Structure 1
Amino acid sequence: MNSVNVFLINSFTLDGKGGNPAGVVLNSEQLSNVQKQYIAKTVGYSETAFVQQCSEESFDVTFFTPTNEVDFCGHATLAVFHTLLEQGVIQSGKYTQYTKAGIVPIKVAESGLITMQQQRPEKLGRFSPSDIAGLLGLDNGVIESTQLPCEVISTGLADLIVPVSVGYLDKVVPNSKKMAAFCEKNNIVGLHVFELVIDNNEKTASCRNFAPLFGIEEESATGSACGALTCYLAENIPSMSSEHYIFEQGRAMGCCSEIRAKLSYDDFDQPKVLISGKATNNGETTLSLDI
């Protein structure tokens, strides 16, 4: 392949605006990992997804940040199936996405709403506020006052969920160098920081996500981390336990996104997390492959 076409998609848009950009490359069978990494770095988005069609109803997808391959990406998954629908490769219905994090069931609605079932949540450890506050430019008390844990949860990627007092989310000033070193040491992808929304009957929480270890200073919508946050809230704030959750992300970046989550349980009381959202096309670009 001498060149490759990349679809530029904004995922988890709110009323057709905002969202988190992802690149999508279809028919990527002939691309090497070196080429995929080059494309992802050139596109410059937090993630670019590379798609191989396995059958009419199943697709193998790999994800690359500007610096590394990652096992899964929620907003890039949404971008993939939006692109497949828009290009006429699929219609509304149920599909399967194979990733290095596992199998992800997908449902595409006629309205364009795309829903993904995430991996069963895994709790991977906790940290004290004193371990975390300095990474965010905050005092320990801003985290301690929430009386909630700082906990690592994975629904495909390991994110550290960090609560802050209401009114402090936009005051976070991340130390990217220290945060990257902390994440590398503890095998964490990034920090997902949230504050509860107390003056809105629809939104559940506002979030910010930082993953500098993978070249992502901040991103405006993180489907995998919001899936982890859904499980976290259901367990740690029983009074907020709800079947449906709505998360806002990207406010500090001037790029608001909306991530919808649904939590249900199987016959063995194991949680199942569904993340939904819409996407918009932001154009295409063609890259020369001279490597």
Structure 2
Amino acid sequence: MTRVDVYLIQAFSISGQGGNLAGVVLQADMLTDSQKQSIAKQVGVSETAFVSQSDSADFQLSFFTPTVEVDFCGHATLSAFWLLRHLQCIPAGHYKQETKAGILAVEITPNGDVLMNQSLPVWLAEFSAEEIAPMLGVQPALIAQAGLPIQAVSTGLVDIIVPIPFGFLDSLVVDMEAMSHFCQQQHCVGFHVFELNPPESFYTASCRNFAPAVGIPEESATGSSSGALACYLNRHFGYLQAVFEQGRAMNMPSCLLTQLSLEGGVLKQVQVGGEGVFNKRISIYVD
């Protein structure tokens, strides 16, 4: 049996509280995919990141949920680079990570926050409220009130972006089995449901993310989906910066910062960032 140390980091926390737990394994070069999957299952958080050497970037990262490998994970990326900085393995600065979603830039600010680039948005299928509403326990007319499309968008992973009117986010009743089946059929990771907040709110939108098809009933902070939502709000409202709240319904409030850059009116960069905080270190044993 091989002992593997796993660091648990709360990504996108707020003043050291809340956030979304991710596992991080450093120096993972000798681990097989089967071992990584076993570790992620034993750790039991939504994603665990494995950091290895790379020939084409500063680091190679792979990401595993308790059940499958995924191409990219925002909160696990933040956790990995926050940990590397926290352990003084690297200084603040600009880095590149090799992932299955491509080679992506990561910035560690002098105060230790992490800003990560995501892929430019890929706009995919739109869905009707009649298809989506039953899986969220609401009436189709409620979703229609938002006046925005339900659309699959990817900035690294495919999520279905679902708008609902303000005040209804916390009352959703999710049919996990139906949603899992639907996501498998549509080749997407999950649903990212959001409500726009009043203009005076610090948060642009409040969000909930459901990904039962990959073993995550609900997640308290989803970096990849936040990048997709930022692009969605830019397309419909022109926002270049947005701050998202997530995890409220789980009593794990999280804050996700997003920033988009244009050149000649064309979207050129998608960034998502936030803070991290150390939770604990555990040991896992694998064959």
- 1:268: how far off? 6.6
Match of 1:124 in 2: 124
1:138 aligned counterpart, secondary structure: coil
Identical pairs, percent: 46
92-101 or 241-250, which deviates more: 241-250
User: Please, what TM-score do these two structures have when normalized by structure 1?
Assistant: 0.96
2:44 and 2:270 map into 1 onto residues whose CA distance is 29
Q: How many residues get paired?
A: 287
Contact map agreement 1:142 1:168 (CA 8 A) in 2:
no
Match of 2:276 in 1: 279
Residues 223-278 of structure 1: per-residue CA shift (max 9 Å, x gap): 11010001111111x2xx33321000000001100000011113471342111100
16-25 or 198-207, which deviates more: 198-207
2:129 and 2:209 map into 1 onto residues whose CA distance is 17
Structure 1: gaps (5+ residues): none
Match of 1:51 in 2: 51
| Pick aligned residue for 1:260 from 257, 272, 279 | 257
2:199 and 2:16 map into 1 onto residues whose CA distance is 24
48-57 or 1-10, which deviates more: 48-57
1:271 and 1:204 map into 2 onto residues whose CA distance is 22
44-53 or 261-270, which deviates more: 261-270
Structure 2: gaps (5+ residues): none
Residues 174-225 of structure 1: per-residue CA shift (max 9 Å, x gap): 1000000000000010000000111634210000000000000000000110
259-268 or 45-54, which deviates more: 259-268
Counterpart residue type for residue 191 of structure 1: F
2:111 and 2:249 map into 1 onto residues whose CA distance is 29
The within-5 A match list for 1:1-291 is: 2-54=2-54, 58-198=58-198, 200-236=200-236, 238=237, 241-267=238-264, 269-289=266-286, 291=287
- 1:3: how far off? 0.7
Counterpart residue type for residue 110 of structure 1: P
265-274 or 21-30, which deviates more: 265-274
**Aligned-residue RMSD, C-alpha:** 1.4
